[in-house]
Amino acid sequence: MLEQIRSALFKKNLRGALSSHKRQRKSHTLESARTISILFDATQPKHRDETLEFAKNLEKKGKKVTLLGYVKTKQPPTDLPFNFFFQKELSWIGVPKSEKALAFAKEKSDLLLCFNPADEAPLAWLAVPAQAAMKIGFATAYANDFDMMLEIPAEKGIRYFTEQLHQYLDKIVLSTK
């Protein structure tokens, strides 16, 4: 019962945050984006490794990549090579309140990639106020303002998502205006 109340309050507040959020939208590809923010579920080592590998490949291409992971544990993990937040840094209804998370949401970028295969509520919340020109993420049950959502089978993971991302973004023809 308590969990249902939390969930209902979270969804109501998320819709309110979404209705008040404004951003400048602009289409980007992985080639045209100079700054890329990646918001991801860092709970599983496999997801962490695949996301870090993808980020390193983007950096090799000269992109400025900012990472923020969500670790679904009550104690902070040690020795992670990226910024993260965890369960103790959430409000009662599941809204991130850590300084790292709030700073990430305020940072402007050309492209936001939200790797959230488990549909974690804190990641859905942070994707809303993110100041990215274009937002792309997994298909989600939460209200969002993604410009593109990809529905990926649960067993496929981050690597498959990034392959599909390349496939679809390579088809975008950007105007020169």
Q: In residues, how long is the chain?
A: 177
Give tens-digit pLDDT for 23-77. 888 888 888 899 999 999 999 999 999 999 999 999 999 999 999 999 999 998 8
174 lies in a domain?
no
Our count of domains for the chain comes to 1
177 lies in a domain?
no
Domain around 133: 2-169
- Confidence (pLDDT) at 79: 85
176 lies in a domain?
no
- CA dist 112 and 148 (Å) reads 11
Range 40-79 burial, b when 16+ CB lie within 10 A, else e: bbbbeeebbebbbebbeebeeeebebbbbbbbeeeeeeee
Using 50, 70 and 90 to split pLDDT, how confident is the model at 108?
A: very high
Domain CATH code at residue 10 = 3.40.50
